[in-house]
Amino acid sequence: MIAATVALTAVAAQPPHIPRALADAGEHAENLYDAAKANDWRTAEHRLQALEGDVARLRADTATSAAARSLADELAELRQSVPKHQRQTTMAEANEITLTVANLTEPYAPKIPVEVTRLDYYGRELELWSETGTAPRLERAVQGLRREWDHVHAPVEARSPKVANRFDALVARVERAKGAAELHQLSQEELDEVDELEGVFEH
């Protein structure tokens, strides 16, 4: 009887699964960012339609309707920018959706820590704003990169000291970077290294 009670308590303590529509919204937003970056507007239209479907599914579920409202304004911007083939605006708004989704999934304790997902977001921010040399946005991205890495450093190091040391060095290089061109180059390395961080938690 006691053993059964303990087992039931353990099950009850497990966080709920991330709603499928919410996970899909994050993936489709990242796909939309990539499509806009490549000026592939046919694919961008398809990804926008998929995002609209994700938000509609969230809105239909009372438990996730607040998440749908959080995404609504960003989706409205994309409805304007994608048909007009506004590359920078579309990339920026799509990336903001990936951050919103990351924040919304945090209570579900995802397998890949939300800090890693935010590192992906900040890598794209570096990539996007280094193209235009927008200093305030680049400074914000560098600060965000450091903050999220400091939060997730310990669990990464516990699983793979090699990956942790490599990302440590990369963040330091980003902080020392001189100018947008160097940050743009480093953004590509950062995005590749985030894939490695994700792998640390997937295996």
Give which of 103, 113, 127 is closest to 190, Cα–Cα: 127
Residue 138: pLDDT band by 50, 70, 90 thresholds? very high
- pLDDT confidence of residue 126: 98
The per-residue pLDDT for range 165-185, each reduced to its tens digit, is 999 999 999 999 999 999 999
The alpha carbon dihedral of 66, 67, 72, 74 has a sign of: positive
User: How far apart are alpha carbons 87 and 74 in whole angstroms?
Assistant: 15
Q: How far is CA 107 from the centre of its chain?
A: 15
pTM of this structure: 0.90
- pLDDT confidence of residue 3: 46
- pLDDT confidence of residue 5: 44
Residue 155: pLDDT band by 50, 70, 90 thresholds? very high
- pLDDT confidence of residue 41: 98
Q: How far is CA 165 from the centre of its chain?
A: 22
Q: How far apart are the first and last CA of the chain?
A: 35
The packing angle between helices 180-202 and 161-176, to 10°, is 160
User: How far apart are alpha carbons 92 and 36 in whole angstroms?
Assistant: 10
User: How far apart are alpha carbons 86 and 102 in whole angstroms?
Assistant: 24
The DSSP code sequence of 151-180 is HHHHHHHHH-HHHHHHHHHHHHHHHH--SH
**Token pair for 9:** 């308590």
The per-residue pLDDT for range 67-88, each reduced to its tens digit, is 898 898 889 999 999 999 999 9
pLDDT at 4 over 50: no
